[in-house]
Amino acid sequence: MQGSTNVVGAWMRRNDAGGDAVIKLGCDESLPNNWRWVEANDVMDVRDGTHDSPKAVNEGIPLVTSKNLVGGKIDFSTCNLISMEDHEAISKRSSVDDGDILYAMIGTIGNPVIVEKSREFSIKNVALFKFTKGTAVYNRYIYHFLNSNLAIRQFQSNSRGGTQKFVSLGNIRSLQIPLPPLEEQKRIAAILDKADSVRRKRQQAIDLADDFLRSVFLDMFGDPVTNPKSLPQVKLTELSDVISGYVFKSAEYIEDGEDSVRLCRGANTLTGYFDWKDTAYWNKEKLAGIQNYKIKAGDVILAMDRPWISSGLKVCVFPENERDTYLVQRVARIRPKNPKYTDFLYASILSKAFEKHCCPTETTVPHISPVELKNFNVLVPDEKLVDKYHDAVVKVRKSKLAMQKSLIEASNAFNSLSQKAFAGEL
């Protein structure tokens, strides 16, 4: 795929002659031979979970909501429990079976999961795609399609709500899917499964490095929640300068060039590293009066929108030798007053104490507020310990940078394959 149009109803692909061809939603003639456009509810049973809020109990059946769909799996650890009676009532309409697909409908839209049922559970505000025996639809093909740009753009255009986005069951049922024959679906899914596996393994390697540093942090400073070493605590603003980004108007973004600077948005800020594949730029001539929003090496950058923190806090340290980059609205900059504290503050933001303070519940307004951020209490250890922790981080950082580069390459390769797959080019 060479690019996309600015409308949801069509996107570009390369045709067999090497030129651009437009694929239009609902237009079978724009698809490869033997493919057809279908609406989700015409080829699958599409339902949703309860919209009620059953009473929580101490022992019972997990109630899975949007926040529990993480990284292609169900995180049962944060589920509320409901009574067997409530579970049975919900299951009359929304019983979940092995091989079904769950899809978050509210807050963070997406994060599809193929169910591998090892226990009973109910669902709330989650879409349910069910596959009957003998159907000509393969669940792993649908899973990858739900993660594709084409599906995401359709849902984004139909999402509603202000701070709490949601997509209706009607919109999910009318989702347009380019559907090839069953054997082709299985072939495409197998290719995407393999590419996705490479991407996940590289992410796991980074996670292991982060786990090691987290254990070093806890050994040196103790758990920030319980503070077993009885260290003094101060507001984050005592140790750093904290600001949120400038309101750059998207209508005034420009193409990259000699007269442009880069903008750092939530989409660019991931856990532990930056991804610049989807980058916005601003005219250098319009920077008067906003130099305070320029990011410097060693700044801790935090995405504050809930859509960017649904699968973990998106926070990283801005590296050296980067091009001029400015902070955008809903992204925060934490600049340590003492550069030695950069790695310590970064680890503090990644701690459970920060999550508990700034992201306590699913019903919280879907962003981290600047007030909550500035009022976050951090430990104040001996500076010698901070230096020792910094030395440990430096040793791991070099290998992590290589792993992060490898992850970006694997992610780009997967995204390219996904784009080609649903344009019939694999």
Q: What is the pLDDT of residues 331-366, one digit of tens each?
A: 999 999 999 899 999 999 988 888 778 765 444 445
What is the identity of the amino acid at 232? Answer: P
CA distance 214 to 346: 11
Residue 34 in tokens:
């033997």
Domain boundary among 380, 400, 418: 380
Residue 289 in tokens:
């009066």
Residue 20 scores a pLDDT above 70? no
pLDDT at position 14 is 42
At a CB cut-off of 8 Å and minimum separation 6, what does 68 contact? 62, 74, 75, 76, 78, 79
pLDDT at position 304 is 86
pLDDT at position 48 is 93
125 in the same domain as 51: yes
Q: Model pTM greater than 0.85?
A: no
43 in the same domain as 19: no
Residue with tokens 């410097």: 296
pLDDT at position 355 is 79
pLDDT at position 166 is 81
78 in the same domain as 25: no
Total domains in the chain come to: 3
Domain boundary among 380, 403, 418: 380
55 in the same domain as 24: no
Neighbours of 372 (CB within 10 A): 17
Q: Is 140 domain-assigned?
A: yes
426: DSSP letter:
-
Q: Is 410 domain-assigned?
A: no
The strand pair at 260-264 and 325-327 is best described as: parallel
Q: SS3 for 126?
A: strand
375 in the same domain as 308: yes
Average pLDDT, the chain: 86
269 in the same domain as 304: yes
Cα separations (Å) of 98 from 68, 110, 143, 171, 343? 17, 19, 14, 24, 43
What is the identity of the amino acid at 266? Answer: G
370 in the same domain as 237: yes
What is the identity of the amino acid at 169? Answer: L
- Range from 289-293, 375-379, 396-400, 412-416 carrying the lowest mean pLDDT: 396-400
Q: Is 202 domain-assigned?
A: no
Residue 39's H or E segment, with its range, is strand 36-39
- Residue span of the structural domain in which 8 resides: 1-30
237 in the same domain as 147: no
